[in-house]
Amino acid sequence: MSDGILQVESIDKQFEKHKAVDALSFDVHRGEIFALLGPNGAGKTTTIRMLLGIIKPDAGSIRFALDGNIGGLPHPSMVGYLPEDRGLYREIPILKTLTYMGVLHGLERKVATASARYWLERVELQDRAEDKLGTLSKGNQQKVQFISAILHRPQFAILDEPFAGLDPVNQDFFIDIIRELREHGATILLCAHQMELVERLADRVLLLDQGAEILEGTLTEIRERSATSNKVVVKVNEGTDLTSLMKSPMIQRIEQRGVGEFAFHIKKGEPLHKFLMLVTSSLELIEIHTEKISLHDIFVQSVGKKNPTGETESGP
């Protein structure tokens, strides 16, 4: 655990007959952005609650080393938590709420207020400091919730769905802030459903399903383990019959994107030129190009389920 700040070993959690987390192990390295991903019900929130000490694992161990000493739960001043569900006071002025949250995390009141004002200005909410949280839009409420998690500059920040309710401009802004936190020495554990945003941020990814690990590693490493080696996007005339291609053993799945546009996922080990020969001899093509296998693709093929058309869809 020399470069790690968190070590999780074989943790289990069961609620009555449902096993939410099953023998899960992982490390988080100092100064990285570590993404914990999975479909709804995969065990992400339960895992986070165990990391924070809200609930205890039935088995296994969780060890932190934020201050250089390996032990149990760290001091609240070292950790920031952005929950998926908003938990701030809706009827109290925003600045007062943020100041209170800063004090809870170990800041002096004046320092907490100054930090809250600084961050409110960063997210362009300085003119709403005395307004109640409930008067803000969903996206602006998310900004305030985010500030409450990081205004004390934690060493370790757990961000659960930080992009929820944000438009694309503010999503990009939050990406910049998360990178800035990392550049200032913070380690980030990130949960999000926006795979394209996670792909831009994460150093390593852990993909869960039914409480257990499916894939873990850098994006390069998990792409190498993917069942798909190439993705080819074609555009054809509306109504083109793809039945013969859907039965081809070299195709992992077919993803329909729009009218006449399809992405073919080619099984690992199948030569690309062989597929190109098949598709050009079978279809009247309008356009064709290749794409890089994305984190979204890996997520879908790893935890997906088959629908009647043969396309893989993500789980519930």
pLDDT tens digits along 213-257: 999 999 989 888 877 778 999 999 988 888 888 888 999 888 888
Using 50, 70 and 90 to split pLDDT, how confident is the model at 313?
very low
**Model pLDDT for residues 20-55, shown as the tens digit of each residue:** 999 999 999 999 999 999 998 899 999 999 999 999
Q: Checking phi first, is residue 31 left (phi over 0); if not, alpha (psi -120 to 50) or beta? A: left
pLDDT number for residue 69: 64
Domain extent at residue 272 = 227-292
What's residue 102's pLDDT? 95
Q: Tell me, yes or no, whether 314 lies in a domain.
A: no
Distance CA 41, CA 201 (A): 23
| Distance (Å, whole) CA 163 – CA 196 | 12
Here the CATH number for the domain that contains residue 231 is 3.30.70
With respect to residue 301, please indicate whether it lies within any of the assigned structural domains.
no
* Residue 316 pLDDT > 50: no
Alpha-carbon distance of 229 to 272, in angstroms, equals 9
pLDDT of residue 309: 35
Report the share of the chain in percent with pLDDT over 90: 64
C-alpha triplet 156, 158, 160: angle, nearest 5°:
165
Same domain, 180 and 263: no
CATH of the domain at 122: 3.40.50.300
Shared domain check, 265 and 165: no
Residues 69 and 209 in one domain: yes
> Same structural domain for residues 206 and 115?
yes
| pLDDT at position 116 | 97
Question: Mean of the pLDDT values across residues 63-74?
Answer: 78
What is the tally of structural domains in the chain? 2
Q: What local confidence, expressed as pLDDT, does residue 76 receive?
A: 80
Any idea how long the chain is? 316
Q: Using 50, 70 and 90 to split pLDDT, how confident is the model at 311?
A: very low
**Stretch 285-293: mean pLDDT:** 90
- Residue 213 corresponds to which tokens in the numbers above? 């690990």
Domain-terminating residue out of 203, 222, 241: 222
Q: Domain end: 188, 222, 256, which one?
A: 222
pLDDT of residue 224: 84
314 or 296, higher pLDDT: 296
In the DSSP assignment, the letter for residue 75 is P
277 and 235, same structural domain?
yes
Q: Is the pLDDT of residue 312 over 60?
A: no
Are residues 130 and 31 part of one domain?
A: yes
Structural element, H or E, at residue 194: none
75 or 262, which is more confident:
262
Model pTM score: 0.85
What whole-number percentage of the chain has pLDDT above 70? 94
* Residue 314 predicted with pLDDT over 50: no
Residues 235 and 178 in one domain: no
Question: Which two structure tokens, joined as six digits, stand for 107?
Answer: 């800041």
272 shares its domain with 213: no
Which of 222, 252, 275 is the endpoint of a domain? 222
- The answer to whether residue 2 scores a pLDDT higher than 60 is no
Q: Are residues 105 and 235 in the same domain?
A: no
CB distance 208 to 195 below 8 Å? no
* Mean pLDDT over each residue of the chain, to the nearest integer: 88
Report pLDDT digits (tens) over 127-181: 999 999 989 999 999 999 999 999 999 999 999 999 998 999 999 999 999 999 9
Same domain flag for 194 and 234: no
Q: What is the pLDDT of residue 68?
A: 66
